[in-house]
Amino acid sequence: MGLRKLGDSAYLYPGSPSTLVRVVEGGAVIVDPGHGSGRHKDLKREVRKLGLEIKAQLATHGHADHVAVAPRIDAPLFIHRFEFSIAESPLNRELLTFGSKAPEGFLVFQFSEEVKVHAVFEWGDVLFGLKAIKLNGHSPGMTGFLDEENGIIYAGDSFFGERVIEAVGLPYLVDPELFKASIKELQNYAEKGFLLIPSHGKAVKGEEAIELLDFNRERVEEVESLIPELLRTPMSIDELALRIMEHYGVKPTPQKLALNLVPLRAFIAQLYNEEGIEAVIDMGLKWRIRGD
């Protein structure tokens, strides 16, 4: 497995997440170094094959699977200011990903290693030829990186490959409306011919990109419609998650259920704020359609 050339000065190292390698004056910049015991060695080896060294690291957001190996790469890490405390604090990463402190070894990604952030940026800033664009909804400071020169956007987790969503059931998000707004923003770039690269899934362009973005948006909208129908019978969030996974033909595992609980809490909060549902106590906390 090696680098895939995307343009005159851009490459992609595949994985989950994939890592963007951007050639700049004096070296290379990588976006989302990722995780795994040998990932940092692989990235440094591939960049050296280009006759370069890694000059800096950018992160789309602070989830552990995107930044875990950053401390093992001798280059400063840049991240949006909303993600600073998430990236730097193992506990904060755990809380955002799992909703609380996670049982040790329960999830794929470990949270114990501290990650040093060297600088923060704002949306609209240009770093090493890459423009930081607002694509939040998956996480508070989720950032895409626009490379005008090579005609690409590294979009992080602002959308997902179809197989990823079908395997889990729900796109992982913390705010449904922001997630959909990011999809709309990406559609504008897709219509202009940009190559869109999700962290988890294959790079897409043109009609294929628009179809995949539609798939992400439609899944969110389907869930928004499905939840009120299911909540005609009061349910806990766990019960609701299982019903939705059943609806999409996803075989439940403890890990998949735990991940789906995070976006479901966001959907529940949105419906509650719109006065569409209410909370009841019935052998635990449950939710139901208001007035039923």
Q: Identify the domain containing residue 108 by its residue range.
A: 4-158
Residue recorded with tokens 């000065």: 9
pTM of the entire structure? 0.93
Question: Looking at the domain assignment, is residue 257 inside a domain?
Answer: no
* pLDDT tens series, the chain, 292 aa: 789 999 999 999 998 899 999 999 989 999 999 988 899 999 999 999 999 999 999 999 998 889 999 999 999 999 999 999 888 887 887 777 677 777 777 665 554 567 899 999 999 999 999 999 999 999 999 999 999 999 999 999 999 999 999 999 999 999 999 999 999 999 999 999 999 999 999 999 999 999 999 999 999 999 999 999 999 999 999 999 999 999 999 999 998 998 899 999 999 999 999 999 999 999 999 999 987 5
The amino acid that residue 277 corresponds to is I
Question: Looking at the domain assignment, is residue 275 inside a domain?
Answer: no
Q: List the CATH number of the domain containing 153.
A: 3.60.15.10
Question: Looking at the domain assignment, is residue 146 inside a domain?
Answer: yes
Question: Looking at the domain assignment, is residue 176 inside a domain?
Answer: no
How many CA within 13 A on the CB side of residue 24?
Answer: 17
Domain count for the chain, please give it.
1
Question: Looking at the domain assignment, is residue 121 inside a domain?
Answer: yes
Question: Looking at the domain assignment, is residue 245 inside a domain?
Answer: no
Beta sheet of 19-24, edge-to-edge order: 4-5, 10-13, 19-24, 27-31, 54-58, 77-80, 119-121
CB 180 within 8 A of CB 213: no
Helix axes 254-273, 90-98, angle to 10 degrees: 80
Measure the CA–CA gap between 192 and 174, rounded to whole angstroms: 28
Tokens found for residue 255 = 């890990």
